Amino acid sequence: MTPAEKLPIVVLVSGSGSNLQAIIDAAAAGLPVEIRAVISNKPGAYGLDRGRKASIPTRVLEHTAFEDRDTYDQALVKLIDEYQPALVILAGFMRILTAGFVTHYQGRLLNIHPSLLPKYRGLHTHKRVLEAGDREHGATVHLVTEELDGGPRLLQVSVPVQENDDEDTLAARVLTQEHIIYPMVIGWFAENRLSIQNGAIALDGERMDGPKQMTFNQTTAL
């Protein structure tokens, strides 16, 4: 497969970029994507190092250099669009995005969230799950809309909560599953299996009325 046949994507990171690494590894194993750039709002983000090691162009656009959120997001859109991505991937990009940014990339902006949405939107999901005494946790890949963690859900994986779990052990277990499901959904886009028309989402020609479901350690492709 030539680069022209691969789905062009840009990945945004703020931290370690482990989900970015999962996408890089999946691309090396045959996922038909071309990662055209890794962009961060933090110059020290380890995700940038992951990009450089994979010979992917990296860029930094520090939010602290801008007077407000709108001005930053406008500059970020301009930077992203230099790479003409078909899909923009949020991989631990710790910014609340403006309506203008989300609208610009409507239907092609993906995020992964460490909970079984719509439960536990926002931060500190692992702590909140433990405090609630839940026996099940998980992660969700979803399209991004103006509503925080409220966009259409595409794929969820459930993860068991063990009796001796703390935030770190639970987070680690969820993260292993994030690394499976995020490249999987990106593959749906890259292989033209997912379509979005007039707000309706279909996978393999069948309308999705809710997210596809996976269970812990299930690694077979949907």
Domains in the chain, ordered, with CATH? Answer: 1-105 (3.40.50.170), 114-140+147-222 (3.40.50.170)
Give me the pLDDT at residue 220, please.
46
SS3 93: coil
For 7-49, write each residue's pLDDT tens digit. 999 999 999 999 999 999 999 999 999 999 999 999 999 999 9
Q: Is 55 left (phi over 0), alpha (psi -120 to 50) or beta?
A: left
In terms of Cα–Cα distance, which of 171, 156, 161 is closest to 119? Answer: 156
pLDDT exceeds cutoff 70 at 210: yes
Phi, psi of 78 (to 5 degrees): -60, -40
Q: Is 104 a catalytic residue?
A: no
Helix extents (H) in the chain: 18-28, 46-53, 69-81, 99-104, 125-132, 167-190
pTM reported for the whole predicted model: 0.94
Mean pLDDT of the chain: 95
Strand order in the sheet with 212-215: 58-60, 33-40, 7-13, 87-90, 109-113, 136-143, 153-160, 212-215
Distance CA 210, CA 198 (A): 16
User: Rounded distance, CA 113 to CA 37, Å?
Assistant: 22
Active-site annotation holder among 104, 113, 142, 179: 113
Helices (H) and strands (E) in the chain, counts: 6, 11
pLDDT in tens, 129-156: 999 999 999 999 999 999 999 999 999 9
Whether 87 contacts 43, CB under 8 Å: no
